[in-house]
Amino acid sequence: MNRKPIPYARQSISEADIQAVVEVLRSDWLTQGPVIERFERAVAGHCGATYAVAVNSGTSALHIACLAAGLGPGDTLWTTPNTFVASANCGLYCGASIDFVDIDPGTYNLSPDELERKLDHAAKDGTLPKVLIPVHFSGQSCTMDRITELAGRYGIAVIEDACHATGGSYQGSRIGSCAFSAMTVFSFHPVKIITTGEGGMVLTNRKDLYEKLIRLRSHGIIRDPAHMEGESHGPWYYQQQDLGFNYRITDMQAALGMSQMKRIDEFVRRRSVLARQYDEGLRGLPLTLPSRHPDAGSAHHLYVVRVPAVSGRTRAELFTGLREAGILANVHYIPVHLQPLYQRRGFHAGDFPHAEQYYREAISLPMYFGLTDDEQAYVIGTLRKLLS
Ligand SMILES: *Cc1c(COP(=O)(O)O)cnc(C)c1O
């Protein structure tokens, strides 16, 4: 086999991307310079949000979003079990408890029916969450109209984990517009839609949240005398008002992000072509292909197929067969509540049966901007062989 291994995801870096980073390296500012704000404005503008705060990872973005929403000890955060651990860990960082809402077995996103049922119980028991984090799994939006309506009934803050969905849309508005949430979080890890190496962002339309996010990103320090407690000591003076962090992104990373933002529509277009080609190429095989919600324009971060029992092959056999053919498939996700840390916190196998059943069958096939038609045809051909 002299074919190069095909990963499940990979960044696309152009000459212009490289030039943008080099320019910053020759400039006066490597961090906290002018490019960060330009990058924030570019993303906010693309999404139709008023404010954006860039940070050093999607995980940091989730953390400060939870803090800005007021999440703390004694509170509870709900999210989906079918996500990366960071969507739940951000609640633990704040000292809050975590609970999960099972997925819709059709879309693999947090189920609004389950949410309604669980909220009903929680309202009676006095265990309502303070924050709800729906995750737009694989790049396809959750049914935000219902989720937001349900959360609104009980005064729960909604933070969209849109780490898969930069460039996606829902009911005609861009993901990140915060039309259905207090805040939306993106990740710019290299496997995601656009990259800054490591990086993330929180978007919001609320000035109060924006100001909190800005403070939390950089130690809880402010420099504007108008917002200080007491008198300023002089032009050098700053004041720490909250316990914040150093979650700043660098100007090199922001420059890469700015340059990648120019390519985002092209990125998502190619991904949607690849998704359609998979749909066509895999038709007729004993695999469950992804479903498309009519309200959602997916960013196509992942292309997940399910290997049901009737296929005659187990997921593990198919996974190994692909690996042996140089196709580095992946699995998204091991349900978070099955992780030992969460088991020690009281969760059990069987708690969220739809997420667990989905996990047993799921494989993520290669899906990224630079995947060629030839490589994709090889993936499809290999699957056909393995399932014959
Ligand atoms: C990637 C990802 C994160 C974390 O983002 P990082 O930038 O890697 O910290 C959080 N949630 C989801 C759903 C993700 O896919």
Ligand 1 atom with the smallest distance to the CA of 192 is 1
Point out the ligand 1 atom lying closest to the alpha carbon of residue 59: 9
Work out the number of other CB atoms within 10 angstroms of the CB of residue 2. Answer: 4
Per-residue pLDDT of the chain (388 residues; tens, 9 = 90+): 568 999 999 999 999 999 999 999 999 999 999 999 999 999 999 999 999 999 999 999 999 999 999 999 999 999 999 999 999 999 999 999 999 999 999 999 999 999 999 999 999 999 999 999 999 999 999 999 999 999 999 999 999 999 999 999 999 999 999 999 999 999 999 999 999 999 999 999 999 999 999 999 999 999 999 999 999 999 999 999 999 999 999 999 999 999 999 999 999 999 999 999 999 999 999 999 999 999 999 999 999 999 998 888 999 999 999 999 999 999 999 999 999 999 999 999 999 999 999 999 999 999 999 999 999 999 999 999 999 8
Task: Name the residue of 55, 56, 87, 249 whose CB sits within 8 Å of the most ligand 1 atoms, as the mutation to test its pocket.
Answer: 87
Report CA(65)–ligand 1 centroid distance (Å): 14
Q: Check if 259 has its Cβ closer than 6 Å to any atom of ligand 1.
A: no
What residues contact 332, with CB distance under 8 A and at least 6 apart?
82, 84, 137, 138, 302, 304, 362, 364
On average, the pLDDT of the chain sits at 97
Mutation test residue for ligand 1: of 57, 59, 183, the one with most atoms within 8 Å of CB: 59
Q: What is the pLDDT of residues 322-363, one digit of tens each?
A: 999 999 999 999 999 999 999 999 999 999 999 999 999 999
230 Rama sector, left if φ>0, alpha if ψ -120 to 50, beta otherwise: left
How close is the Cα of 186 to the center of ligand 1, in Å? Answer: 8
136 Cβ closer than 6 Å to some ligand 1 atom = no
8 Å CB contact between 61 and 89: no
Quick one: how far is CA 319 from the chain centroid?
A: 24
What is the residue with the minimal CA distance to atom 15 of ligand 1? 163
Give dist(CA 251, CA 358) in Å, integer: 40
Q: Print burial letters for 176-200: b (CB count within 10 Å at least 16), e (below 16).
A: bbbbbbbbbbbbbbbbbbbbbbbbb
Phi-psi region of 95 (alpha: psi -120 to 50; beta: other; left: phi over 0): left
pLDDT in tens, 83-92: 999 999 999 9
Residue indicated by tokens 């933002």: 261
